[in-house]
Every structure is written in C-alpha cells, then in structure tokens.
Amino acid sequence: MSSESRCALRSSILRKQIVAVTGLILTGFLAGHLAGNFLIFLGPEAFNGYSEKLHAIPELLWLVRLGLIAAFLIHVITTILLTLENRQARGERYAVNGSKSEESLKFAKKTMIYTGLLVLFFLVLHLSDFTLSDKEGPASMIAAGEGNPPRNLGLYGLVWNSFLEPWRAGVYIAVMLVLGLHLSHGIQSLCQTLGFYRNDLVPGIRKLSLVLGLLAAIGFSSVPLFINIVRTPPL
C-alpha cells in the first residue's frame, strides 16, 4: 500500500465511507434475514427448510458469517472511534445547546451511536438465543392443536416458544423499533456519505430511508406479534 493511500485510510471521509459501506452490507443482510423470517408465516417446513439450506454448505455459511462479522466489527469500531474523535473536536462545550434544523428526525441522528450500541448488545443475546442454541431440544417442542402430542419443530419451534414469552417478544419488538430508527437515518446517511448528490434524487432518498426504516421495524416485529396473536402454530 502506498503511503498516500495509507494516509487516506486515516482520513475522516474515507473512514466514514467505510462505515457507510459496511452499513450497506449489514442492511443487505437485514433484508435477507427479514425475508427468511417471513417464511415463518408459511409454516415449519418452509422455515426449517430454509434454515437447513443455509447450513447445507458449512464452508460457505462460515465465509458469509465471517464476512458479516467483519463488516459488523468494522462498522462498530470505526463508528466508536469517530464518535470519540468528534467529542474532542468540540473542545469546550456550549452552555446552551440549540439547533436551527427543522427536520423531524433529529432524534434518530443524535442517537445513532446509542441505537447502534443497543442493537449490538441485543445481537449478542439474539445469537445465543437462536443461532447458537440447541435447535432439537425441549425448547423446540410444540403441541400443535388440542390433544396432540408435542412435536419437535426444530428452529421454528424454538422461535415460536421463545416469542411466546411476553418479555422476550416485548424486548425484541422494542429493539426492532430502535433498529428501524437507526436505519431511517442510516440509509440516507450512507447515500450521502457515498456521494449521491443529485438534486432530483436526494429528497427521494431521504423519504425512502424513512420508509425502509419503518418497514424494517414493522417487518421484524410482525413475527413476534403474529406468534402472540395466534399462540398455537397453524399446522
């Protein structure tokens, strides 16, 4: 690597662009994840089948996983570093903090680092709950319909059972709202950082970002909501 590009790697803008690109990757992952989640509505075969297909080639799966982990770590670490730098850049604080911006989503912008960190903590829980836990054990047993003996429904059962616990569903939905907030600013922010400046596109991108954030929140929340409304899986 030439010394010039090493220097560029330390540059504020390039690091922001790294955050943007990793953000884009993670957004793509979320979109895929959400699509997978929706298979729950089609029943255990569809959902578990999808999960099995993902596991069919473990090497590939791990490659993707490593990629995602890397993107995630880079996204988080770079952001934390940038945030710390930004704190220093102010120097002495203002006695009064005001704003002249009339935008409605100021809250989302101001809390990006916190919403991000919240999602990070949740992720740890989420992985240990689902990805890393036993998918064939008692937690996967569900009695489908009156009088039927409980069946092992694999990952489907695991998800179903855990969301039936109201606090889990509650926490999950709350975090998904936070994630939606993060995305509602994040998506348009990454477009800006990657240099979309066309006058005719920018207002559209900002709206799209909001809509996508909202859709993500609703989409992810729909699964626990659905489970808590139906309570027994429609088999």
Partner 1 sequence: MANTINLTLKVWRQKSSDSPGAFEIYQAHDIDTDLSFLEMLDVVNINLEKNGKEPIAFDHDCREGICGCCGAMINGQAHGPEHGTTLCQLHVRKFRDGDTLVIEPWRSRAFPVVRDLIVDRSAFDRIIQAGGYVTVRTGSAPEAHSLPVPKIDADEAFDSAACIGCGACVAACPNASAVLFVGAKISHLALLPQGRVERERRARAMVERMDLEGFGNCSNHYECEAACPKEISVRNIARLNREFFRAFVKG
Which residues are near partner 1 by CB under 8 A?
A: 2, 4-5, 7-8, 10-17, 82, 85-86, 88-103, 106, 109-110, 112, 185, 188-189, 191-197, 199, 202
User: Coil, strand or helix: which one is 24?
Assistant: helix
Measured CA to CA in angstroms, residue 235 lies from 36, 150, 177 at distances of 19, 12, 29
Closer to partner 1 at the Cβ: 34 or 112? 112
Instruction: Give the pair of three-digit tokens for residue 115.
Output: 């919403």
Minimum gap (Å) between residue 118 Cβ and partner 1: 17
Q: Which is nearer to partner 1, 14 or 174 (CB)?
A: 14
Q: Say if residues 115 and 179 touch (Cβ distance below 8 Å).
A: yes
**Closest C-alpha among 32, 34, 55 to residue 155:** 55
Nearest approach in angstroms of CB 201 to partner 1 is 10
**Shortest reach from residue 77's CB to partner 1, in Å:** 14
Residue tagged 């790294």 (tokens): 18
Instruction: Give whichever of 135 and 206 is closer to partner 1, judged by the CB atom.
Output: 206
DSSP 3-state assignment of 152? Answer: strand
Residue closer to partner 1 by CB (options 53, 198) is: 198
Q: In Å, how far are 85, 87, 218, 229 from 91, measured between CA atoms?
A: 11, 8, 40, 52
Euclidean distance between the first and the last CA atom of the chain, given in angstroms as a whole number: 58
| Closest separation in Å from C-beta 98 to partner 1 | 3
Question: Shortest distance, CB of residue 85 to partner 1, whole angstroms?
Answer: 6
Using the minimum distance from each CB to partner 1, give the nearer residue, 153 or 191: 191
